[in-house]
Amino acid sequence: MNPFDLTGKVAVVTGGGQGIGEGIAKSLSAAGASVVVAARHQDRIDRVAADIAATGGRALAVATDVTDRAALIALADAAIDTFGGLHVWVNNAGGSPVRSPLAEISEEDWDACLALNLTSVWRASVIAAERMGEGGSIINISSPAGDRGVPGSGHYAAAKAGVNSLTKTLSLELAPTVRVNGISPGYVPTEVMMTALDTDEAALEVMATKRVPLQRLGTPDDMGSTAVYLASGAGGWVTGQTIIVAGGL
């Protein structure tokens, strides 16, 4: 048997309309899973679902605001109603366009960042776990920012540190039925990262050759392969871990 095979499994990927989420959704499909692609922009998730269908996979696009509890419940139920179950949930939606010192950030921007990047992860994980049977897998997309000080993005870093803590605690509370792990991506030239760093891909490429031991930027497929490992039987004895996928950084 192929330990990475996800045939018969149903996966939900939030923030799946582009970047890392798109890479994860397509990787899970390539491993055999039926995939529900969720994000706020219907056109983006329709494109990803169509790409998956064009390769012979099964996909459903569900427009979702992950900060809305009712929308998360509807998303989980859509996966079950359409594909007959729920086995994998990837909390990928997140990011923050705001760059500001903590002493200057508005309370509204602080609250919005935590609602999107932390509260939604807790809420979605609980909703998903309630609907999963034995062998379920929740994967939280974190960030190296959660392990260090990040001037100008302290609100985002605090949220991701919270995600790392949630991953550990949920893994203990949901064991042995559901495994909970995280992925901490390094420099992947997505729209979210470009906005956060106020840079472009060319500048990131130059930085990667100087700072990243493997001397290249990451790709959404790098994150997708890691997600397949954590979702499948290959990672069946792994829980409570946040794996750094960053080329050696």
- Residues designated as active site: 156
Q: Which two tokens stand for residue 113?
A: 């960042």
DSSP 96-134: ------TTT--HHHHHHHHIIIIIHHHHHHHHHHHH--T
Alpha helices by DSSP H, listed for the chain, are 19-30, 42-54, 69-83, 107-114, 120-131, 154-174, 191-197, 201-211, 220-231
Whether the Cβ atoms of residue 58 and residue 35 lie closer than 8 Å to each other: yes
Phi, psi dihedrals of residue 46, rounded to the nearest 5°: -60, -40
Contact criterion met (CB below 8 Å) for 60 and 107: no
State the residue for tokens 């079950």. Answer: 80
